[in-house]
């Protein structure tokens, strides 16, 4: 891993829909997970957003876990 540009809370929240949709790139997703692991506010937001996402798009694969990395 090289230098990581840390995301601010506002950046994380702005990209949250894309994150849930799996539309962010791997590095961004990783940085967001890192942020969620350290920021209670954003973690609460992403948890409730995930619940909402699953309700509206049950057929879509949401990002299930903040902790597991997806093994290819
Ligand atoms: Zn935050």
Calculate mean pLDDT across residues 59-65: 58
Q: How far is the CA of 68 from the centre of ligand 1 (A)?
A: 19
What pLDDT does residue 58 have? 75
What pLDDT does residue 16 have? 93
Q: How far is the CA of 35 from the centre of ligand 1 (A)?
A: 6
Residue 15 predicted with pLDDT over 90: yes
User: Beta-carbon neighbour count of residue 53 at 10 Å?
Assistant: 19
Residue 38 predicted with pLDDT over 90: yes
Is the distance from CB of 21 to CB of 46 less than 8 angstroms?
Answer: no
Share of the chain above pLDDT 70, in %: 75
The pTM is what?
0.68
Mean predicted lDDT score pLDDT of the chain: 81
How far are the Cα atoms of 3, 7, 15 from residue 46, in angstroms, in the given order? 25, 15, 11
Q: How far is the CA of 38 from the centre of ligand 1 (A)?
A: 8
């Amino acid at each position: 891993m090289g230098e990581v540009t840390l995301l601010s809370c506002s950046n994380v929240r702005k990209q949250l829909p894309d994150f849930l949709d799996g539309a962010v790139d791997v590095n961004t997703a990783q940085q967001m997970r890192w942020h969620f692991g350290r920021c209670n506010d954003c973690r609460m937001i992403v948890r409730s957003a995930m619940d909402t996402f699953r309700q509206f798009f049950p057929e879509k694969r949401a990002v299930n876990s903040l902790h597991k990395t997806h093994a290819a």
